[in-house]
Amino acid sequence: MKAPPFAYAAPSTIAEALALLAAHEDAKVLAGGQSLMPALNLRLAAPSVLVDINGIAELSEVSLTPTELRLGALVRHKRIGTDAAIAGAVPLLGLACPHIAHGPIRSRGTIGGSLSHADPAAEWPAVCLAADAVMEIRGPAGPRHVPAEAFSLGVFTTALRPGELLAAIRFPVARGRAGFAEVARRHGDFAMVGAAVTVELGPDGRCADARVVLFGASDRPIRRRAAEERLRGQAPGAALLREAASLAAEGLDPPSDLHASAEYRRRVAPVMVRRALADALSLPEARLAA
Ligand SMILES: Cc1cc2nc3c(=O)[nH]c(=O)nc-3n(C[C@H](O)[C@H](O)[C@H](O)COP(=O)(O)OP(=O)(O)OC[C@H]3O[C@@H](n4cnc5c(N)ncnc54)[C@H](O)[C@@H]3O)c2cc1C
């Protein structure tokens, strides 16, 4: 199938893009096109205007200070996965990137596009939640900042309001360790279930802080606070990781679909959490534990 007819505009500033979005209620932002173009070709979307933001140079900027990494919304998956400074500042970004689709898609797809698209099985929304990122949004009412937890609201649904643009994502520079694990039918497919974790160890070697996030297990990435609580103040070991992983899976109500049943997702979720934690804490024996 071919996309329905649409007009095309290529602004070179954020202000021009916002004016176009304000003037055309059903306009759609075009970033990497890796989710939008298939949706147009399948006629799941029929915007009157495509606002191509690829010519807005500031949206591709990356900046790093000792405390913060800021990625423009147009930064491509590939750059995130290959830039040592980015992975050094927020290791979860480097760990998750190879799991996203395939090379050609990573060359075009953008972090802002993935976050705005809000597929519950996508890696970036989960990484942003685990890494405590904040979304920098520009819109007709001015700029605003939304924490990752309040940004993904459900399947293909975000806190973006009509006429708004996701401009950048701000990450605190990581102070601890990170781990990532997912299961997909084939490499490059969307995950059936995955886990993204961060762990900070205190000077005594105990977990000072942890964030445990599951994705593909609900309508959006979700923090598993009971697991985080279990880890806090404890010395890492295989038994602790097993307990935390099983707490992470408690009360899960995952979807059933073509890719996996709810029951499968429920069973595999704690395994993903345990593997991600074991990798973060360099405990290979805990990764294998039954
Ligand atoms: C075969 C295939 C496999 C894939 N596998 C995976 C995978 O395993 N994991 C994964 O995470 N993704 C996967 N993807 C999706 C891919 O990561 C896309 O790049 C991503 O979802 C969308 O990014 P994009 O830049 O291409 O956005 P686009 O397709 O251009 O846009 C997506 C949506 O976001 C909106 N949008 C884009 N940018 C902005 C912005 N800055 N502000 C406001 N709205 C915006 C658009 O209007 C549109 O509604 C796959 C895609 C394909 C085709």
CA 202 to chain centre: 27
Task: Assess whether 166 and 105 both reside in one domain.
Answer: yes
Whole-angstrom distance, CA of residue 143 vs CA of residue 136:
7
Q: Domain boundary at 172, 191, 218, which?
A: 172
Q: How far apart are the first and last CA of the chain?
A: 48
User: Helix, strand, or coil here: 266?
Assistant: helix
Ligand 1 center to residue 142 CA distance, Å? 25
Question: What mean pLDDT comes out for the span 224-248?
Answer: 97
Q: What is the domain count for the chain?
A: 3
Whole-angstrom distance, CA of residue 125 vs CA of residue 112:
10
Q: Over the stretch 194-222, which tens digit does the pLDDT of each residue have? A: 999 999 999 999 999 999 999 999 999 99
Write the secondary structure of 87-114 as one string of H (helix), E (strand) and C (coil). HHHCHHHHHHHHHCCCHHHHHHCEHHHH
pTM: 0.97
Question: What mean pLDDT comes out for the span 254-279?
Answer: 96
Ligand 1 center to residue 125 CA distance, Å? 11
pLDDT confidence bin for 290, thresholds 50/70/90:
low
pLDDT confidence bin for 289, thresholds 50/70/90:
low
In Å, how far are 63, 158, 263 from 118, measured between CA atoms?
24, 7, 23
Task: Assess whether 71 and 148 both reside in one domain.
Answer: yes
Task: Assess whether 168 and 183 both reside in one domain.
Answer: no
Whole-angstrom distance, CA of residue 119 vs CA of residue 284:
31
> Residue 232 belongs to a domain with what CATH number?
3.30.390.50
Ligand 1, residue 101: give the atom nearest the CA.
5
Ligand 1 center to residue 72 CA distance, Å? 15
Residue 288: what pLDDT? Answer: 77
CB of 212 within 8 A of CB of 228? yes
Ligand 1, residue 45: give the atom nearest the CA.
49
Q: Which residue has the tokens 């405390």?
A: 67
